[in-house]
Amino acid sequence: MQNVQLYIYVDDAEGVPVAHRIELFNDEKISVTSSVQNFNDIGKLFTDYSQSFTIPASKHNNAIFRHWYESSVGDTNDINPQNVDNAFDHRIKYYGFIEINTIPFRDGKFTMQKANKKNGFIESYTINFVGNLVQLKDKFKEDKLNQLQGLDELNFEYNMTNVVIGSYTDIKFPLIGSDRRYEVGTGSSYDITTIPGAIDYRELFPTVRVSKIFEYIQSRYGISFEGEFLNYDQFKQLFLYCKNTEKFNFYSDPLSPNFSVKDGGFTQMDLATDTLTFSFQQEPNANRYESWLKVTPTLSTITYSVQIYDNGTLWNTFENLTGYQDLNYFSRYRVDENLVSGQFITHVFTYKLTSELPMTFDSELNLKKNSGSGLAGGYNRKAWAYADTTSGDLQVSRYMPDMTVDTFVTAIVKAMNLVIVPTGENRFLFQPMEAWYQEGDLRDITEFVEAEDIEISRPNLFKQISFKFEKSENVLNNAYRTLYNLDYGDLIFDNPDSAFTTNYEVKLPFEDIMWERQTNTDLLTATCWNKDLKPYTPKPILMYYNGPKSLPTFYYTNGVAPITVGLYHRFSNEISIGGTDLSYVRTLNWNTEISVWYLAQATNGLFQQYYANSIFNIYNQRTRVLKVKAHFNTNLLTSLKLNDKIALSNKRYTINTMTTDLTSGEVNLELLNDFRVIDGSPLLRYANMTALSVDNTAQVVQFLIYKIDYDTFDTVASGGFLSYALTADNITDLVLDVTIPANATALDREDSIALQYYKNGALTEIKIDVLQYA
């Protein structure tokens, strides 16, 4: 029998969290099932969890759980868990951990399910334990991307110079048309190399770097995302297109007119708070009130809107205004006024103005009182505000797609088949599944398995697995759909001779828009037109930033004066991670499609990069599912990881699910044959690129060096023309920038990236060859 210890954090001492050990029944079975990705549900991630189990309602446990069974304990009227006095809160999860014979096994969260009463006394509690991964969804709740506070740091003064040539790292404006195409050298009205065809910078929508959004998510929820993949260009150059309307509309931050002067006796107007307060209750002789706001902009061409609030609630909105406006927003007789508890309500009006461009304006506020017939005391009082100017900052959050944080993170994980491994209460490792499997050890469990009790079955496969995006309304996507009876970028993994009938779908909440490169030009663009050649609002779109690109001189305009430029930000749905070695072009399509930039098949789509190896292994004719029962010792129980490869009777397996009885050490394993080739396989390797062949130009290529299952590795000098950082004792994957200088030798030349791996003191030397042509 194993000695199992459960610890829970419910309070602290002088600011330091205290781990309380939970007392257990001697015969209580504590079972934990572990799984990361099940072959029966390919698109879903799992985490450690337990069946419910009971613990005694001992004096010690009652103290930990604060006699939870008694609802009068604590301030039960307070809905904020942080304010409940001395009560255990079943609405939240409490951090804790499990040990086996004092050796750490799992950490996660405990929840209270119920208290059990017998013979008039509380006998036990039923509690549950879940792994840390589930808390991500708990933290995100239904929060939207546009609620991330960090987005404010991306705001900038919105003008043509900043949009066109602004050196912003994390926000850029791709040449994607909404109400027109962009062309080069055609002489048409779409030709951006002519002044009539100049790009109005107010047509363009922004993109935001995905890794920056991840930073804001971490900051918002007090969590940390780890893993070198998140620092790699294949992730760092990924952007989210922020187009949530058909046409771009810029509006400044709402600005309240700063009233500084008023008529004598205008007591209803407070210049300190810019509020107008009045009521029929205060002036019995008032028969009618009228109020209006006059706005006089310096420029009559700028569109603006005025919002008027009464007691903080929107009272009236005046949209799409230009030039001088006299806005009558209140006109009411006493007999028509509302009563509350027999009293006339008190109006408290405030004013906000937004504009599509920075705008300076004067304001005049009027309040007119008409007295009843034959009564004196009528008046028309005024207050003035001068030279207020709306802010010209672009508010990035206004253009973010209508998407929850949870949906966004889950979609990125699903697109790249990432494993999320909790490494602490608030730390999470993100790693592509195949790289994660490479880091696992090979563990021979043959001696621990009950060999006479093994069940061998076929995997429960799907007849068809669809990898899809959201259906696009784009005119080019529509044409592709009609031509091929398949949506652009989608992939159908089909097994026509399968005995199985069930289908499965992996679907991303993104649109995979088709890009176009105009013949004999370097303009790569897209157009958000539907089949009727009208602007439409796409689903969220992911795209890669490919750097600045030269074009013949073309024009931008602000509607008044054009400027000339020769570079644009080239975006597309692909990225070349291998410099000029085009075999390493990676795309955001599921399927193999023609690259519109390189005019060749781009075979390394999302499926090929992140799913193919595991899918092909599952569908291998020799693959079987083994259900085995084993009895592990403490060392194996606490050290076996879900990415470890299992050796059983000279065959290799991966773990699909593992259910552990912590008290007895009995383990039920569901194993899947692993036919991945270790030596020489392009998918199980020391780096994301096994070799490189580039042209003679100078370039920097970023390699992702994998730790695999070694203890450490070093990058060492190769003695050739390559230049990169030399590091020692690396214990995690490493992003390595390799500088390749221009080849002026007139001869092909070769060099290698040299790596030294160590495991249990043994050295393995690896070289990644680089060929540079003359």
pLDDT digits (tens, 9 = 90+) for 371-405: 877 667 889 999 999 999 998 888 899 899 999 99
pLDDT digits (tens, 9 = 90+) for 173-200: 999 999 899 999 999 999 999 999 999 9
Distance of CA 690 to the CA centre of its chain: 30
pLDDT digits (tens, 9 = 90+) for 194-226: 999 999 999 999 999 999 999 999 999 999 999
Mean pLDDT of 92-108: 89
C-beta neighbour count of 350 within 10 angstroms: 17
In this predicted structure, the answer to whether residue 483 has a pLDDT above a threshold of 70 is yes
What pLDDT score does 92 carry?
A: 84
Mean pLDDT of 485-493: 93
Say how far apart CA 736 and CA 672 lie, in whole Å: 34
In this predicted structure, the answer to whether residue 256 has a pLDDT above a threshold of 50 is yes
State phi, psi for 437 to the nearest 5 degrees.
-65, -35
Of residues 513 and 620, more confidently modeled: 513
pLDDT band of residue 124 (cuts 50, 70, 90) is very high
In this predicted structure, the answer to whether residue 249 has a pLDDT above a threshold of 60 is yes
In this predicted structure, the answer to whether residue 684 has a pLDDT above a threshold of 80 is no
Mean pLDDT of 59-66: 92
Mean pLDDT of 493-497: 77
Tokens matching residue 500? 């199985």
Contact 459, 672 (CB under 8 A): yes
What pLDDT score does 768 carry?
A: 94
In this predicted structure, the answer to whether residue 247 has a pLDDT above a threshold of 70 is yes
Identify the structural domains of the chain with CATH numbers, from first to last. Answer: 4-131 (no CATH), 145-248+411-433+464-614 (no CATH), 259-390 (no CATH), 691-772 (2.60.40.10)
Looking at this protein, which amino acid is placed at residue 631? H
Say how far apart CA 768 and CA 690 lie, in whole Å: 6
pLDDT digits (tens, 9 = 90+) for 405-418: 999 999 999 999 99
Say how far apart CA 642 and CA 33 lie, in whole Å: 11
What pLDDT score does 361 carry?
A: 97
Tokens matching residue 40? 């029966």
pLDDT digits (tens, 9 = 90+) for 555-565: 999 888 899 99
Which residues lie closer than 8 Å to 561 by C-beta, 6 or more apart? none
What pLDDT score does 38 carry?
A: 58
What pLDDT score does 527 carry?
A: 96
In this predicted structure, the answer to whether residue 683 has a pLDDT above a threshold of 70 is no
**Range name among 134-148, 244-258, 470-484, 630-644 with the lowest pLDDT average:** 134-148
Contact 613, 604 (CB under 8 A): no
State phi, psi for 715 to the nearest 5 degrees.
-100, 125
- Total-model pTM: 0.82
What pLDDT score does 758 carry?
A: 95
pLDDT band of residue 78 (cuts 50, 70, 90) is very low
Contact 475, 533 (CB under 8 A): yes
DSSP 360: E
Looking at this protein, which amino acid is placed at residue 445? I
Across the chain, mean pLDDT equals: 89
pLDDT digits (tens, 9 = 90+) for 30-50: 888 888 765 555 556 566 676
In this predicted structure, the answer to whether residue 80 has a pLDDT above a threshold of 50 is no
C-beta neighbour count of 411 within 10 angstroms: 17
Say how far apart CA 674 and CA 658 lie, in whole Å: 16
Say how far apart CA 381 and CA 754 lie, in whole Å: 83
Mean pLDDT of 595-615: 90
| DSSP SS3 for 648 | strand
pLDDT digits (tens, 9 = 90+) for 502-553: 888 899 999 999 999 988 899 999 999 999 999 999 999 999 999 999 999 9
Percentage of the residues of the chain whose pLDDT score is greater than 90: 64
Mean pLDDT of 309-316: 92
Q: Please spell the DSSP secondary structure of 414-443, one letter per residue.
A: HHTTEEEEE-SSSEEEEEEHHHHHHTS-EE
In this predicted structure, the answer to whether residue 678 has a pLDDT above a threshold of 70 is no
Q: Which CA distances in Å does 755 have to 254, 435, 510, 603, 728?
A: 57, 18, 39, 29, 10
In this predicted structure, the answer to whether residue 271 has a pLDDT above a threshold of 90 is yes
What pLDDT score does 172 carry?
A: 96
Which residues lie closer than 8 Å to 475 by C-beta, 6 or more apart? 527, 529, 530, 531, 533
